[in-house]
Amino acid sequence: MTTDNHALALSDVIQRIEPSPTLSITALANSLKAQGRDVIGFSAGQPDFDTPQNIVQAAHDALSNGKTRYEAVAGIVSLRQAIADLYIGRGMKDIGPKNVVVSCGAKHSLYQLMQVLLNEGDEVIIPGPYWVSYPAMATLARATPVTVPCGEADHFKITPEALKAAITPKTRLLVLCSPSNPTGMVYTRQELEAIADIVLEHKIGVLYDSIYDELVYGDVEFNEFATLKPGLESLTITINGLSKSHAMTGWRVGYIVAPEHIAAAVSKLQSQSTSNITSFVQYASVEAITGDQSATANMKVHFDRRRKLMVKLLREIDGVTCVEPMGAFYAFPNFGAYIGRTGPDGPITNDMELVSYLLKHHDVALVPGSAFGAPGFARLSYATSDELIQKGIARIKAGLEALS
């Protein structure tokens, strides 16, 4: 159905948002699978494990006990207290349930924060490579995303010099993600402290996306930005959730830990949109945070092994470089050496065409780096089995070697 009615014309802001550049790859992969093709996917941004049984049982118990009605918009008190206690244990001070809002996933939390904090003309600094939704969320809040490319030589991390250069009188927020989606990079305490000095000097807000906080490897440590220096807690909003750490992507549980006036504003916005998240899911979430964590620890062991395997195999491909990821479950190799070569459909002029070629002719699905502001790279998730990692990267290697 089409309409010429001006009353139903789309808004200017939604027309400025581009659809995800990965949509065509996803659609093609699904089409090939439907045809019976054995497509190996490295695009999944979610654990390949089931939700731990103790969490599932807690949801079942909540359902059996009638926890199926409306709850407080910001979340049940026991869940918000459990989250507050978690962060008190990490060094935050003077926080409680009033500082916490539980939303429909960390993406929803980030979207709402942008809406309540930003005005037209405000600028949001977003280091790149970046998660695909950050710039779109800033645009939807009628602000201006200012993306700052962070190169392979800097391990895809923003430097103090680059941050200083990006700050203007219009800067309101800096978005930091550590561990990073898409690169798997983790900021060290020293690196974060250098950023913190600039934040405190210019009094800009920080949205600290720590959704992968439980997934760091080797001797790398995760650091809570708000706790690094005096004064940061009042400038920092921490975003987190249970999707990655507890294999709960479909449960849609995200949350913020924020100064009280910001938490109140997000709760007000949520009261006029979604209201509370699913009631019985909240009771299961209390168990996820306070209960047995052995399943989460076990997932991390598997991810670490797969991480090492994937990086090793990628580095064995001639012309491919791959900075070692130290967190999350992504590798971010550089395939730039193969841009400009020719395949069966003609010259490959960019990473989107390279990814399309590998999918169409070698049955392996990657996410192009240009989706994250890094042309020539690609994101591969190792949230899959060792066998599929070996088989899939063998296909990538064969596909690249076949180019002329």
- What phi-psi label fits residue 3: left (phi over 0), alpha (psi between -120 and 50 degrees) or beta? beta
For residues 203 and 74, state if they share a domain: yes
pLDDT band at 31 (very low <50, low <70, confident <90, very high): confident
Could you report the per-residue pLDDT of 241-273, keeping only the tens digit for each? Answer: 999 999 999 999 999 999 999 999 999 999 999
Per-residue pLDDT, 2 = 56
Mean pLDDT of all residues in 54-69: 97
Q: Cα dist. 353→317, 356, 357 in Å?
A: 19, 5, 6
Please tell me whether residue 97 adopts helix, strand or coil conformation: helix
Domain range enclosing 396: 6-50+295-401
Q: What mean pLDDT do residues 33-58 have?
A: 92
Rounded mean pLDDT of 222-249? 96
CA distances from 339 to 156, 354, 359, 362 (A): 21, 7, 16, 17
pLDDT the model gives residue 44:
79
pLDDT exceeds cutoff 90 at 106: yes
Q: Sort 183 into a burial class: Cβ within 10 Å, 0-12 / 13-18 / 19+.
A: buried
Instruction: Name the 3-class secondary structure at 332.
Output: coil
Distance between CA atoms of residues 310 and 330, nearest Å: 9
pLDDT computed for residue 339 by the predictor:
97
CA atoms within 13 A on the CB side of 343: 21
The contacts of residue 201 (CB under 8 Å, 6+ apart) are none
> Could you tell me if 170 and 154 lie in one domain?
yes
- Measured on CA atoms in the order 312, 313, 316, 317, is the torsion positive or negative? negative
pLDDT of residue 267: 98
Q: Which two tokens stand for residue 184?
A: 């798997």
Q: Which residues contact 48 (CB under 8 A, 6 or more apart)?
A: 383, 384, 385
The CATH code of the domain that includes 98 is: 3.40.640.10
Per-residue pLDDT of 178-224, as tens digits, reads 999 999 999 999 999 999 999 999 999 999 999 999 999 999 999 99
pTM across the whole model: 0.94
Q: Are residues 244 and 274 in the same domain?
A: yes
Average confidence (pLDDT) over 16-23: 73
* Contact in structure between 172 and 117 (CB atoms under 8 Å): yes
Q: Rounded CA gap, 68 and 65, in Å?
A: 9
Q: Is residue 1 part of a domain?
A: no
Averaged pLDDT of the chain: 95
Q: What pLDDT, on a 0 to 100 scale, did the predictor assign at position 22?
A: 65
Same domain, 63 and 44: no
Q: Which of 237, 256, 290 is the last residue of a domain?
A: 290
pLDDT tens profile 284-328: 999 999 999 999 999 999 999 999 999 999 999 999 999 999 999
Q: What percent of the chain has pLDDT over 70?
A: 98
User: What's the mean pLDDT in 88-98?
Assistant: 94
pLDDT exceeds cutoff 70 at 3: no
Residue 6 has pLDDT above 80, yes or no: no
pLDDT score of 140:
95
- Is residue 48 pLDDT above 80, yes or no? yes
Distance CA(343)–CA(320), nearest Å, equals: 18
pLDDT at 293: 94
In this prediction, residue 1 carries a pLDDT of: 54
Local confidence band at 227 (pLDDT 50, 70, 90 cut-offs) = very high
Based on the fold, state whether residues 226 and 119 are members of the same structural domain.
Answer: yes
In a domain, 232, yes or no: yes
- Categorize the per-residue pLDDT at 18 as very low, low, confident or very high, splitting at 50, 70 and 90: confident
Q: What is the pLDDT of residue 13?
A: 87
Same domain flag for 36 and 109 = no
Going by DSSP bridges, is the β-strand pair 144-149/342-343 parallel, antiparallel, or unpaired? unpaired
Residues 221 and 192: their CA atoms lie apart, in Å, by 12
Q: What is the per-residue pLDDT for 33?
A: 86
For residue 78, tell me if it sits in a domain: yes
The pLDDT of residue 46 is above 90: no
pLDDT at 94 over 70: yes
The contacts of residue 229 (CB under 8 Å, 6+ apart) are 193, 196, 197, 200
What is the per-residue pLDDT for 26?
75
Do 300 and 174 sit in the same domain of this protein? no
Work out the number of other CB atoms within 10 angstroms of the CB of residue 288.
27
User: In this prediction, what percent of the chain has a pLDDT beyond 90?
Assistant: 89
Examine the domain organization and report whether 74 and 28 are in the same domain. Answer: no
Q: Is residue 68 very low, low, confident or very high in pLDDT (cuts 50, 70, 90)?
A: very high
Q: Summarize the confidence of residues 359-379 as an average pLDDT.
A: 95
Number of domains making up the chain: 2
Amino acid at residue number 256: I
Q: Is the pLDDT of residue 21 over 80?
A: no
| 286 and 141 housed in the same domain | yes
CATH number for the domain harbouring residue 349: 3.90.1150.10
CA-to-CA separations, 356 to 4, 21, 129, 287, 398, in angstroms, rounded: 36, 12, 20, 42, 15
Region for residue 247 given its phi and psi (left: phi exceeds 0; alpha: psi -120 to 50; beta: otherwise):
left
Verify that 72 and 18 share a domain, yes or no: no
